[in-house]
């Protein structure tokens, strides 16, 4: 049997349909990490996941967090009530993404390479990528960043230097997005932290339908 066909992207910021992805979710390879291409990817339900080579993904199922059903456990709720942390928004985006890149991962490998950092900093400077920072005094204790388009937000990564700080950042982000009328929060795949606040999986077809609705709004 011949190997599966993987589309190679050209100079134009266009993608194959997300639902044409291979079984594991790979949609295409190549292209670049320009702001225009990244925005086209997110609008199509696709995201980058490596740099050498650049790969573009749309897994099925897709993990989301329902903004009307965020779960805040008793311990986390107590931390929030005590006011242990101060929370800011878009105060130091680069520091947040660089801290996310330094989080130890399986095999000591991170997908947040220097190229990814610079690409998302450009997105931030253009007004599309945002961060929530959690502080303990003057120390950056945790944070989360992602990409917002219309009433859609893609949470990309989070970190903590102090226990519970990343969860506080995520819950704060979810609350702010809900207050602003966000309709879809994409977390791509479920992790221990996102599961703890209520992440669930939906079929890619359902995700893409909801994405279209959120972008149209």
64-82, pLDDT tens digit by residue? 999 999 999 999 999 999 9
- Considering only CA atoms, which of 56, 45, 38 is closest in space to residue 19? 45
**Confidence tier at 202 by pLDDT (50, 70, 90):** very high
| 8-59 maps to CATH 3.20.20.80 | no
What residues contact residue 13 under an 8 Å CB cut-off, 6+ apart? 31, 34, 36, 37, 39, 40
Domain boundaries, the chain: 8-59, 63-216
The per-residue pLDDT for range 117-143, each reduced to its tens digit, is: 999 999 999 999 999 999 999 999 999
CATH number of 63-216: 3.40.630.70
At residue 144, the pLDDT reads 98
Cα–Cα dist 113/98, whole Å: 9
């Amino acid at each position: 049997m011949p190997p599966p066909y993987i589309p190679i992207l050209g100079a134009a910021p266009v993608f194959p349909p997300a639902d044409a992805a291979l079984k594991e979710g790979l949609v295409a390879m190549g292209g670049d990490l320009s702001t225009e291409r990244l925005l086209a990817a997110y609008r199509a339900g696709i995201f980058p996941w490596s740099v050498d080579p650049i790969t573009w993904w749309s897994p099925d199922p897709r993990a989301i967090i329902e903004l009307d059903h965020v779960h805040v456990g008793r311990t986390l709720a107590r931390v929030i009530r005590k006011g242990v942390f101060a929370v800011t928004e878009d105060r130091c985006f680069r520091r947040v993404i660089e801290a996310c890149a330094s989080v130890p991962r399986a095999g000591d490998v991170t997908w947040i390479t220097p190229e990814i950092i610079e690409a998302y900093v450009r997105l931030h400077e253009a007004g599309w990528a945002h961060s929530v920072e959690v502080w303990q005094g003057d120390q950056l204790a945790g944070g989360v960043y992602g990409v917002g388009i219309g009433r859609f937000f893609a949470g990309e990564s989070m970190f903590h230097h102090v226990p519970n700080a990343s969860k506080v950042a995520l819950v704060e982000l979810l609350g702010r997005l809900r207050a602003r009328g966000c309709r879809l929060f994409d977390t791509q795949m479920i992790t221990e932290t996102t599961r703890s606040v209520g992440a669930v999986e939906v079929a890619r077809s359902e995700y893409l339908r909801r994405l279209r609705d959120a972008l149209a709004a």
